[in-house]
Amino acid sequence: MGASQSKSDTPDEKVFQSETPISFSPDVVNQLADRLDAPETTPERQSILDAHIRARIRDELEHLKRDEAAVRQEIEQALEKENLDRETSMAGEASSPEGESESTTGSIKNSAALFGDLEEVKAKIDKYQANKKSTEYPEVEANGAAVADCYRKNKDKPLICVSEVTKFKAAVDRLEQASPIFPVITVVR
């Protein structure tokens, strides 16, 4: 019952020999060899990726400009309200019946308070301008300009610009890692 094998030892394979030799033209061999030597991404795909990245940066820059305008509007509205409140309080003090000396002292006190508030607003504006400059991403802009210049100079040979493109990608990656505004995109190759 289990003493012999259920299959025979002779295989069912048949091998046919070709009478004519198989040969490939040198063009086919060269084309296959070139494909092995080619980079992982084609120039077309690379240009599509670069255009996508530029579009995202442009969109984000527009978004930041809109946010800046909204913040500026809020600051202006808050300052207007604050100024109106101060003017009404100063008008109330000036019309008080206690006398002229208190109103002068009150206006001097208000002038000092206004000066302090003015300094505070200047400090806020300076801080905002410093934030604005740091969010303009000079490294990404510089690397993007270098890529564009390289492509303009080497219209017929875009592969010469690989180092500039690599630097630009690295700068964008650092920006995406550092900024909570930009979500990290994973590119599948």
Condensed to tens digits (0 to 9), the pLDDT of residues 120-177 reads 888 888 877 766 655 557 788 888 889 999 989 988 887 888 999 999 899 888 877 7
Give per-residue burial for 164-183: e unless 16+ CB within 10 Å, then b: bbebbbebbeebbeeeeeee
Band of the pLDDT at 105, cuts 50, 70, 90? Answer: very low
Task: Tell me, yes or no, whether 76 and 118 share the same domain.
Answer: yes
Question: For residue 8, is it within any domain?
Answer: no
What pLDDT is recorded for position 163? 92
- Asked whether residue 93 is domain-assigned, the answer is yes
Give the model's pLDDT for residue 51. Answer: 95
The pTM score is 0.29
- Looking at the structure of the chain, the number of domains it has is 2
Which residue has better confidence, 107 or 72? 72
> Both 131 and 143 in a single domain?
no
Query: Do 99 and 149 fall within a single domain?
Result: no
Q: Are residues 157 and 172 in the same domain?
A: yes
State whether 131 and 160 are in the same domain.
Answer: no
Q: What is the pLDDT of residue 167?
A: 92
Whole-number pLDDT of residue 171: 84
What is the predicted pLDDT for the residue at 77? 93
In a domain, residue 22? The reply is no
**H-type alpha helices, 9-42:** 26-37
Which of left, alpha, beta for 137 (phi over 0: left; psi -120 to 50: alpha)?
left
Q: Is residue 110 part of a domain?
A: yes
Pair (116, 170) in one structural domain: no
- Looking at the fold, whether 157 and 125 belong to one and the same domain comes out as no
pLDDT at 76: 94
Q: Answer whether residue 173 is part of any domain.
A: yes
Residue of higher predicted confidence among 97 and 177: 177
Mean of pLDDT values over 82-101: 67
The predicted pLDDT at position 177 comes to: 77
pLDDT digits (tens, 9 = 90+) for 12-66: 788 878 788 878 888 988 888 877 766 577 788 889 999 999 999 999 999 999 9
Residues 160 and 126 in one domain: no
Domain range enclosing 105: 67-136
- Hey, CA dihedral for 9, 14, 17, 23, is it positive or negative? negative
Are 95 and 123 within one domain?
A: yes
Q: Does 73 share its domain with 117?
A: yes
Identify the pLDDT of residue 186.
55
108 and 151 assigned to the same domain: no
In a domain? residue 27: no
pLDDT reported for residue 74: 95
